[in-house]
């Protein structure tokens, strides 16, 4: 079985500490008005021999003594109404991991190649460019996604077949090109999102999955590029990884 390990990359999972600061809101009770101002003073009558009292002295003290409605009713803010309760966020469904599928053979135009891990993605892109150039010049449409079939791997690099589905045979192919069929049969499907270099983590997870399930894979595996590697930023790739089973 091919080793699914590519470059030995350490999967670092940063630990994030989340600090929650909770502060209680204390209701402020207004201080009561002074007792002396709440009721009029019975003493200090106006002197009898003086002239007619001033309007301020003869005014009734009752309005000043009665507390204002705002002072008597100042409750603390009530709890948030039910409408303000947070709505649960919708659950995001993860990509299937280890889904059992059956691959169907398709007619493909393919090109053989070898690559080193250090320049692997660039080599694969060049292979796809050569195939697309051939098909575009001859006006041949390709109804399926581009694929890479790995035929052998080691610590320094790998050999591969770059394949593109076609409906008719192209002409004037180079020596390293040919017409054939894509792999078929039972396989497990995994999904990778992100750059090609970060696929080390995906293949490590695949290896662990096969070990846990005690499954044995064939000596090959396939990558189907759902996003066009010639037009998509490398960190935005979406790739189906198929692992054929024995």
Report the CATH number that the domain containing residue 224 is assigned in CATH.
3.20.80.10
The answer to whether residue 30 sits within a structural domain is no
Predicted TM-score (pTM) of the model is 0.64
- Provide the 8-state DSSP code for 61: S
pLDDT value for 77: 53
pLDDT value for 76: 54
Of 116, 88, 125, 87, give the one whose Cα is nearest residue 7.
116
The answer to whether residue 2 sits within a structural domain is no
pLDDT > 90? residue 101: yes
pLDDT value for 82: 53
The answer to whether residue 19 sits within a structural domain is no
Q: What is the domain count for the chain?
A: 1
The answer to whether residue 210 sits within a structural domain is yes
CA torsion, points 161, 165, 169, 174, in degrees to nearest 10? -30
The answer to whether residue 89 sits within a structural domain is no
In sequence order, what are the beta bridge partners of 103?
Answer: 185
The answer to whether residue 223 sits within a structural domain is yes
Q: CA–CA separation, 220 vs 243, rounded Å?
A: 7
pLDDT > 60? residue 8: no
pLDDT > 90? residue 85: no
pLDDT in tens, 106-149: 999 999 999 999 999 999 999 999 999 999 999 999 899 999 99
**Backbone torsion region of residue 82, taken as left when φ is above 0, otherwise alpha when ψ lies between -120 and 50, otherwise beta:** alpha
pLDDT > 80? residue 197: yes
Mean pLDDT value across the chain: 75
- pLDDT tier at 95, thresholds 50, 70, 90: confident
Q: CA–CA separation, 4 vs 156, rounded Å?
A: 13
pLDDT, mean of residues 205-218: 93
The answer to whether residue 56 sits within a structural domain is no
pLDDT value for 93: 56
Q: Which domain holds residue 132?
A: 99-244
pLDDT in tens, 28-80: 444 444 444 444 444 444 444 444 444 434 444 444 444 444 444 445 555 55
């Amino acid at each position: 079985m091919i080793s699914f390990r590519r470059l030995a990359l350490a999967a670092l999972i940063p630990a994030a500490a989340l600090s929650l600061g909770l502060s209680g809101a204390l209701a402020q009770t207004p201080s009561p008005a002074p007792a002396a101002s709440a009721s009029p003073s019975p003493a200090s009558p106006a002197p009898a021999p003086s002239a007619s009292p001033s309007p301020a002295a003869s005014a009734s003290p009752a309005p000043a003594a009665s507390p204002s409605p705002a002072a008597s009713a100042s409750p603390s803010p009530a709890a948030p109404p039910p409408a303000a309760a947070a709505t649960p966020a919708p659950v995001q469904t993860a990509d299937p991991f280890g889904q059992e599928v059956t691959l169907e053979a398709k007619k493909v135009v393919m090109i053989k190649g070898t690559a080193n891990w250090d320049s692997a993605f660039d080599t694969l892109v060049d292979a796809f460019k050569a195939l697309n150039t051939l098909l575009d010049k001859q006006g041949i449409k390709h109804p399926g996604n581009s694929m890479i079939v790995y035929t052998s791997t080691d610590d320094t690099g790998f050999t591969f077949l770059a394949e593109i589905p076609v409906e008719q045979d192209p002409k004037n192919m180079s020596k390293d090109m040919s017409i054939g069929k894509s792999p078929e049969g039972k396989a497990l499907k995994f999904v990778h999102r992100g750059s090609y270099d970060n696929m080390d983590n995906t293949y490590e997870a695949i290896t662990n999955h096969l070990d846990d399930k005690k499954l044995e894979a064939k000596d090959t595996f396939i990558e189907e590029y759902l996003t066009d590697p010639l037009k998509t930023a490398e960190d935005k790739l979406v790739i189906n990884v198929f692992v054929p089973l024995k």
